[in-house]
């Protein structure tokens, strides 16, 4: 049984005060003087006297007007400041979240999550529940996208928090925009642990426990005879998303065999792709 | 042709005329000066003073449309059109003579179409400068024309007598543009940055348009970006003043380009806006290496999305930049996923620029765990990274994006983020967009506050994390283009 975790985010660490990055104090001071003159304009105030090194740099320029002298100084000072970039002071470390013994899911599983959320969102619940049940941890690079995606869905968001462990609350603590929209929503353990029911017509639902080849035979014939068409696609997708795991390969093979001249061949191809995707997804999330 | 239709209206043109061989007119575009367009409809040739890299440009096509519709009456041929036609006739005669007198060279161009050039342009398809200062030029869209991905190089054209004249003309225009820019900068410094007119975009845009006319597209883009700094942060006066200084530096360097060492002169020329033909770049000696795709960043510049791929040679350890561009609903380059590597010939733009064109690819970009481990092993400290950046910026002070791979962790400074290690810290640029949030969120999630090898882009206003190099893979966290604007983002 998956237990819900405390959705309350941990607070961010105390901020530290930044300090400016400057090549050297004299240059920083001179730059501030230049900015002051630039704000007022050289019609109102003359440019400052450049410090030693900068004075040498602009000394060879024959500038008559204050604005020309000012521009020369600004150009030289900017070049020196940028080329002389120095790091600011070292900053305090962020508190690190508590460790998690679970292995992060593989890069292939990460890619699969991106694929199914883009193409087969009907599989997302199963992806996450399988990951949790098989002892994987959500790969960290998926976390921001998952938290954003499920800000409004208490059940899925809680699953994400379970799947990622302490790092989830730690991240939300630092980035409040990732917080849940309804943080006080209650989630039952049953809702958390079970796949949601999908609407499947009774005549299709009876096939849920059939072998893959038999399902493919019936569905394929119906597609070829046009008894099943695009209007039935949502139900058929739900069916493939819930048939037995050991039926997926045979079903996908059966869809490959559908007459390519049939008007429903495209639908068969789509269903075959779904079955293949689901099979690969479960394979990638097999027990650690 | 679609772009030409709306401007194929006599009311948009001045001085329209035609004779038995040619048709001509002046079109008032977005710039201060009208574009003088001429078409040789007998031998098919085009000339236009607009900065578009397309040949023929929409103005030439519009002129032809007007002519075939009978909306241009025959008149006396103006002297400039006459001179242009004479040069073309002379060129044809010389080319014919050369053909008779000499055996054809194996690499001589045979494409008749290649014999036509934009008479105003040394680089018909070369990119005008863009925000990638120092990295060299990118595109400058004009009058609604857009620039797509970099295209394969056209055949190398034969010598053209128009080119010398066009080059002289262009140099003169560019020098005039630089003089005008410096005068404008002088006015800003005299009247001060508190002048309310600085808050008006038109103040900057009109200057940018004049720079486009002067064929200094790179400076024009710089000026437009500068307009976006006004009021953007509490320290905008610092940022704007520094950029004014860099513009002054480039304007002065552009005036003295003949006195500069070759490499620096090339770098200044491209940063000012001198166009370089892709064919010329690709004709240079290639830098062949196993190139690692270290990072990617997308930036919208005016109406163009610019994608930068930062590459690093496995053997040379040298950085290179590959740019791609996409206008609305066009596609960016997706052939270089971050964390992959490929063996390829890279051709650098003049002046030892970071910007390069990819020539022959000796294979596809493949996922390679070695990429991540190489970067993880070679990442330097923040202080060393500042040194690396400093060396590159000292050579070209107008650079505004420099890549570096460091090992650092994320930290907070008040409300903003920074990268830090025991040697110091660097502020992260707040892009003020969801892209920024996404990048920071990814960095935070993947690092969990621990140090990691990162490829970042240094900018004068802060650094942008582009990728995280983990022991077994690289995670792309660079700012990404909005998919509602361009595809393949």
Q: Say if A36 is an interface residue toward chain B (CB within 8 Å).
A: no
Considering only CB atoms, A35 lies closest to which of B238, B409, B449, namely B238
Least confident window among A232-236, B41-45, B105-109:
B105-109
Q: Is the pLDDT of residue B208 over 80?
A: yes
**Chain A residue numbers touching B425 (CB-CB < 8 A):** 18, 87-91
B107: confidence class by pLDDT, cuts 50, 70, 90:
very low
pLDDT given for residue B475 in this prediction: 92
- Scanning A144-183 for CB atoms below 8 A from B yields 144, 167, 170-171, 174-175, 177-178
Distance from CA of A243 to the nearest CA of B (A): 34
**Chain B residue numbers touching A174 (CB-CB < 8 A):** 412, 444
Mean pLDDT of B412-427: 93
pLDDT given for residue B131 in this prediction: 36
Least confident window among A60-64, A178-182, B448-452:
A60-64
CB-CB under 8 Å, A74 with B241: yes
CA dist B418 and B405 (Å) reads: 15
A26: confidence class by pLDDT, cuts 50, 70, 90:
confident
Cβ–Cβ under 8 Å, residues A28 and A20: yes
Please state, in angstroms and as integers, the Cα–Cα distance from residue B170 to each residue in B122, B173, B216, B302, following that order.
Answer: 8, 5, 10, 25
pLDDT given for residue B97 in this prediction: 60
Distance from CA of B46 to the nearest CA of A (A): 41
CB-CB under 8 Å, B437 with A175: yes
Considering only CB atoms, A82 lies closest to which of B237, B393, B422, namely B393
Q: Does domain B373-476 have CATH number 2.40.50?
A: yes
Cβ–Cβ under 8 Å, residues A128 and A160: yes
CB-CB under 8 Å, B420 with A90: yes
Most confident of the ranges B79-93, B97-111, B305-319: B305-319
Alpha-helical runs (H) found in A91-201:
107-119, 124-133, 143-149, 154-164, 166-174, 189-193
A123 is written with which tokens?
A: 């599989």
Q: Is the pLDDT of residue B41 over 80?
A: yes
CA dist B399 and B404 (Å) reads: 14
Distance from CA of A81 to the nearest CA of B (A): 9
More confident residue, B465 or B432: B465
Test mutation, B181, B185, B188, B189, chain A, max A CBs within 10 A: B189
**Chain B residue numbers touching A68 (CB-CB < 8 A):** 186
Mean pLDDT of B55-70: 83
pLDDT given for residue A88 in this prediction: 94
Spell out the residues 6+ positions from residue A260 whose beta carbon is closer than 8 angstroms to its own: none
More confident residue, B42 or B279: B279
Distance from CA of B178 to the nearest CA of A (A): 15
Spell out the residues 6+ positions from residue B104 whose beta carbon is closer than 8 angstroms to its own: B110
Q: Is the dihedral of CA A19, A24, A26, A31 positive or negative?
A: negative
ipTM: 0.82
**Chain B residue numbers touching A94 (CB-CB < 8 A):** 409-412, 449
Distance from CA of B212 to the nearest CA of A (A): 23
**Chain A residue numbers touching B245 (CB-CB < 8 A):** 71, 74-79
Considering only CB atoms, B194 lies closest to which of A39, A67, A86, namely A39
More confident residue, B54 or A253: A253
A25: confidence class by pLDDT, cuts 50, 70, 90:
low
Mean pLDDT of A220-239: 94
**Chain A residue numbers touching B192 (CB-CB < 8 A):** 38-44
**Chain A residue numbers touching B409 (CB-CB < 8 A):** 93-94
B128 is written with which tokens?
A: 């005008």
Mapping DSSP to helix (H, G, I), strand (E, B) and coil, where does residue B320 land? strand
Q: Is the pLDDT of residue B94 over 90?
A: no
Mean pLDDT of A172-201: 88
Mean pLDDT of B265-276: 87
pLDDT given for residue A3 in this prediction: 46
Least confident window among B115-129, B350-364, B457-471:
B115-129
pLDDT given for residue B252 in this prediction: 92
Distance from CA of B209 to the nearest CA of A (A): 23
What average pLDDT does the structure give for chain B?
81
Considering only CB atoms, B437 lies closest to which of A15, A21, A177, namely A177
A231: confidence class by pLDDT, cuts 50, 70, 90:
very high
Mean pLDDT of B469-484: 88
pLDDT given for residue A166 in this prediction: 92
**Cα-flanking dihedrals φ and ψ of residue B14, to 5°?**
-130, 155
CB-CB under 8 Å, A77 with B248: no
Each domain of chain A, given as residue ranges in start order, spans 25-83, 106-193, 202-284
Q: Is the pLDDT of residue B346 over 90?
A: yes
Radius of gyration of chain A (CA): 32
Each domain of chain B, given as residue ranges in start order, spans 5-102, 282-371, 373-476
Query: Closest Cα partner for B122 from B181, B55, B182?
Result: B55
CB-CB under 8 Å, A42 with B397: no
- How many residue pairs from chains A and B have C-beta atoms closer than 8 A? 179
Q: Say if A84 is an interface residue toward chain B (CB within 8 Å).
A: yes
Mean pLDDT of B4-18: 81
More confident residue, A130 or B87: A130
Cβ–Cβ under 8 Å, residues B63 and B41: no
**Chain B residue numbers touching A58 (CB-CB < 8 A):** none
Tracing tokens 């031998």 back to the chain, one arrives at: B43
pLDDT given for residue B161 in this prediction: 63
Q: Say if A70 is an interface residue toward chain B (CB within 8 Å).
A: yes
What average pLDDT does the structure give for chain A?
88
Test mutation, A13, A33, A74, chain B, max B CBs within 10 A: A74
Least confident window among A51-65, A197-211, B110-124:
B110-124
CA dist B130 and B127 (Å) reads: 8
What secondary structure does DSSP assign to B228-290, as a single string?
Answer: TTTTTSTTHHHHHHHHHHHHHHHHHHHHTGGGS-HHHHHHHHHHHT----HHHHHTSPPEEEE
pLDDT given for residue B126 in this prediction: 34
Q: Say if A110 is an interface residue toward chain B (CB within 8 Å).
A: no
Q: What is the pLDDT of residues B115-171, one digit of tens each?
A: 333 333 323 333 333 433 334 334 333 333 333 333 444 455 555 666 677 777 888
CB-CB under 8 Å, B383 with A87: yes
**Chain A residue numbers touching B389 (CB-CB < 8 A):** 85
More confident residue, B215 or B4: B215
Least confident window among A109-118, B228-237, B428-437:
B428-437
**Chain A residue numbers touching B237 (CB-CB < 8 A):** 35, 38-39
B106: confidence class by pLDDT, cuts 50, 70, 90:
very low
Cβ–Cβ under 8 Å, residues B170 and B126: no
B329 alpha-carbon distance from chain centroid? 19
**Chain A residue numbers touching B448 (CB-CB < 8 A):** 96-97, 140, 167, 170
pLDDT given for residue A121 in this prediction: 96
Least confident window among A59-63, B69-73, B455-459:
A59-63
Q: Say if A75 is an interface residue toward chain B (CB within 8 Å).
A: yes
pLDDT given for residue A24 in this prediction: 59
Least confident window among A62-66, A162-166, A197-201, A236-240:
A62-66
Q: What is the dihedral of CA B327, B331, B332, B336, to 10 degrees?
A: -170
More confident residue, A128 or B153: A128
CA dist A284 and A63 (Å) reads: 71
Q: What is the pLDDT of residues B366-393, one digit of tens each?
A: 887 676 777 788 899 999 999 999 999 9
Give the residue on A whose Cα is nearest the Cα of B183. Answer: A68
- Give buried/exposed letters for B403-441 (b at 16+ CB in 10 A, else e): bbbbbbbbbbbeeebbbbbebbbbbbbebeeebbbbbbb
Q: Is the pLDDT of residue B358 over 90?
A: yes
User: Could you give the count of Cα atoms lying within 13 Å of B280 in the half-sphere of its Cβ?
Assistant: 12
Tell whether pTM > 0.80. no
Q: What is the pLDDT of residues B420-432, one digit of tens each?
A: 999 999 999 987 6
Test mutation, A27, A78, A164, chain B, max B CBs within 10 A: A78
- Determine which helix (DSSP H) or strand (DSSP E) holds B81, and give its type and residue range: helix B79-101
CB-CB under 8 Å, B449 with A88: no
Q: Say if A94 is an interface residue toward chain B (CB within 8 Å).
A: yes
Q: What is the pLDDT of residues A63-99, one digit of tens each?
A: 678 999 999 999 999 999 999 999 999 999 999 998 8
B471: confidence class by pLDDT, cuts 50, 70, 90:
confident
Cβ–Cβ under 8 Å, residues A186 and A118: no
């Amino acid at each position: 049984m998956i237990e819900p975790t405390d959705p309350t985010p941990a607070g961010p660490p105390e901020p530290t005060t930044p300090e400016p990055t400057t090549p050297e104090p004299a240059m920083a001071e001179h730059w501030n003087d230049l900015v002051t003159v630039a704000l007022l304009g050289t019609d109102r105030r003359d440019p400052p006297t450049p410090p030693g090194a900068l004075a040498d740099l602009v000394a060879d320029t024959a500038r008559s007007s204050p604005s020309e002298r000012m521009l020369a100084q600004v150009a030289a000072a900017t070049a020196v400041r940028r080329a002389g970039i120095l790091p600011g002071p070292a900053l305090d470390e962020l508190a690190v979240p508590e460790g998690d013994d679970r292995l992060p899911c593989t890069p292939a599983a990460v890619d699969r999550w991106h694929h199914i959320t883009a193409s087969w969102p009907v599989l997302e619940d199963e992806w996450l529940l399988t990951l949790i049940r098989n002892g994987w941890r959500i790969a960290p690079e998926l976390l921001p996208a998952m938290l954003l995606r499920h800000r409004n869905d208490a059940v899925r968001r809680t699953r994400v928090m379970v799947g990622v462990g302490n790092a989830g609350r730690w991240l939300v603590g630092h980035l409040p925009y990732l917080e849940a929209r309804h943080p006080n929503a209650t989630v039952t353990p049953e809702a958390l642990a079970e796949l949601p029911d999908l609407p499947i017509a009774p005549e299709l639902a009876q096939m849920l426990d059939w072998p893959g080849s038999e399902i493919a035979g019936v569905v394929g014939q119906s597609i070829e005879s046009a008894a099943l068409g695009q209007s039935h696609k949502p139900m058929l997708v739900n069916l493939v998303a819930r048939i037995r795991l050991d039926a997926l390969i045979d079903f996908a093979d059966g869809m490959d065999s559908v007459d390519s001249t049939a008007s429903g061949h495209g639908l068969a191809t789509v269903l075959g792709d779904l079955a293949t995707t689901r099979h690969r997804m479960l394979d990638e999330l097999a027990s650690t | 042709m679609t772009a030409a239709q709306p401007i194929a209206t006599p009311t948009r043109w001045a001085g329209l005329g035609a004779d038995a061989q040619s048709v001509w007119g002046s079109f008032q575009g977005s710039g201060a000066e009208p574009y003088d367009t001429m078409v040789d409809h007998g031998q098919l040739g085009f000339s236009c003073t607009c900065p578009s890299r397309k040949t023929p440009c929409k103005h030439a096509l519009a002129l032809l449309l007007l002519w075939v519709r009978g909306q241009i009456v025959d008149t006396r041929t103006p002297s400039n059109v006459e001179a242009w036609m004479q040069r073309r006739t002379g060129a044809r005669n010389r080319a014919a003579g050369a053909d008779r007198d000499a055996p054809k060279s194996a690499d001589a161009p045979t494409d008749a179409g290649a014999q036509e050039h934009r008479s105003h342009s040394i680089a018909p398809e070369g990119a005008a400068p863009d925000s990638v200062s120092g990295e060299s030029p990118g595109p400058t869209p004009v009058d609604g024309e857009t620039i797509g991905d970099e295209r394969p190089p056209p055949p190398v054209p034969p010598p053209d007598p128009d080119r010398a004249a066009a080059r002289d003309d262009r140099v003169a225009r560019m020098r005039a543009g630089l003089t005008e820019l410096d005068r404008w900068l002088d006015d800003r410094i005299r009247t001060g940055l508190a002048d309310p007119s600085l808050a008006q975009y038109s103040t900057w845009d009109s200057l940018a348009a004049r720079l486009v006319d002067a064929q200094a597209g790179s400076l024009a883009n710089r000026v437009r970006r500068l307009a976006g700094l006004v009021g953007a942060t509490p320290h905008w006066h610092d940022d704007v003043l520094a950029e004014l200084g860099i513009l002054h530096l480039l304007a002065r360097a552009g005036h003295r380009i003949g006195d500069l060492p070759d490499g620096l002169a090339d770098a200044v020329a491209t940063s000012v806006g001198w166009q370089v033909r892709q064919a010329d770049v690709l004709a240079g000696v290639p830098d062949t290496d196993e190139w690692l795709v270290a990072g990617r960043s997308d930036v919208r510049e005016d109406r163009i999305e610019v994608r930068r791929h930062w590459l690093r040679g496995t053997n040379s350890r040298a950085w290179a930049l590959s740019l791609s561009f996409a206008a609305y609903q066009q596609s960016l380059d997706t052939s270089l996923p971050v964390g992959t590597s490929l063996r390829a010939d890279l051709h650098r733009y003049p002046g030892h620029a970071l910007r390069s064109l990819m020539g022959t690819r000796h294979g596809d970009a493949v996922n390679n765990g070695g990429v991540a481990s190489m970067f993880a092993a070679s990442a330097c400290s923040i202080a060393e990274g500042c040194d690396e950046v400093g060396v590159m910026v000292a050579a070209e002070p107008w650079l505004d994006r420099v890549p570096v791979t460091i090992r650092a962790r994320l930290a907070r400074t008040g409300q903003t983020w920074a990268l830090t290690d025991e040697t110091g810290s660097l502020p992260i640029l707040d892009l003020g967009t969801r892209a920024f949030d996404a990048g920071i969120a990814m960095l935070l999630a993947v690092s969990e506050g621990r140090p990691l090898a990162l490829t970042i882009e240094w900018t004068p206003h802060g650094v942008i994390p582009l990728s995280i190099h983990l022991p077994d893979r690289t995670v792309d966290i660079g700012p990404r283009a909005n998919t509602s604007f361009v595809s393949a983002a």
